[in-house]
Amino acid sequence: MNIAFIGLGNMGAPMARNLVAAGHTVTGYDTAATPEGLTLAETAAGAARDAEVVITMLPNGAILRRVAADVIPAMAPGAALLDCSTVDVDSARAVAEQADAAGLLALDAPVSGGIGGAEAGTLTFMVGGSDAALKKAQPLLDIMGGRTVHCGPSGNGQAAKICNNMILGATMAVTCEAFALADKLGLDRQAMYDVASTSSGQSWSLTTYCPAPGVGPTSPSDNGYQPGFAAELMAKDLGLAQQAARAVGAVTPMGDAALSEYTTFVDAEDGRGRDFSALLPRLSDKS
């Protein structure tokens, strides 16, 4: 396929390279990044003009709306707009409506798996949109990811992403609190892990992405908390979850508490640019 890829940062660039490696023609565009190995256009609309699928990986809903307003008029009817950003549900649905009105196919397909998953082509895509749009995009999703879950109509991919990350943020926060408490109680971290990882305290945050260095499988904690998923991105996603909760009248006190914890960590402490599991040394230092 002829593909346009708009947004070539830490996630977008490796995703685009995987498409090139699979034999697709990819034209990229980014306002700042100029990654090697990709053909770049001078404008987003220029990249999109002859594309069968336009893929976007952008920081937030406001930027997605601006880019969509630029590229949708340049796209040929029947082409697909595949947004892999994590944005608010309202923006995802508004862009899908604009694409549909222009005779385009639209999918919101935020990802899980981080930079490592983007590089390895093992991302999980949470997809909202029509069956027809998914059928067109599926061969590309199969290259960039290891699993695709069709969550329903437009916006539901974003809904799934923010609900999932609300669970992730809250469980990581309490996992870090538990290790900090174990330290104070004189409980060895390995013993704490051995118990919790095989009993009712088990979670992905503990057994796959353990915040304690030297415990469990290798994770960012073993690399000085260099980010696999940055704390500021977790704060962003938790904020999106709370925005959505307010919009529909959902009660999410644990999600709100996790948002407060990560907002403080990022904005008032040293969390920006560190992995979201770096709450553990922060809590240990405070204890």
Q: Which residues are catalytic?
A: 161
Nearest CA to 53 out of 21, 9, 86, 16 is that of 16
- 29, β-bridge pairs: 6
Distances (CA, A) of 170 to 136, 150, 163, 197: 36, 25, 11, 17
Helices 156-184, 231-248: inter-axial angle, 10-degree rounding:
120
Phi, psi at residue 186, to the nearest 5°?
80, 20
What ranges make up the beta strands (E) of the chain?
2-6, 25-29, 39-40, 53-56, 80-83, 105-108, 111-112, 123-129, 145-152
Q: Yes or no: say if 243 and 233 are a contact pair by the CB < 8 Å rule.
A: no
Q: Yes or no: say if 46 and 5 are a contact pair by the CB < 8 Å rule.
A: no
67 φψ region: left (φ > 0), alpha (ψ -120 to 50), beta (else) = alpha
Distance, in Å, from the CA atom of 278 to the CA atom of 140, rounded to the nearest integer, reads 34
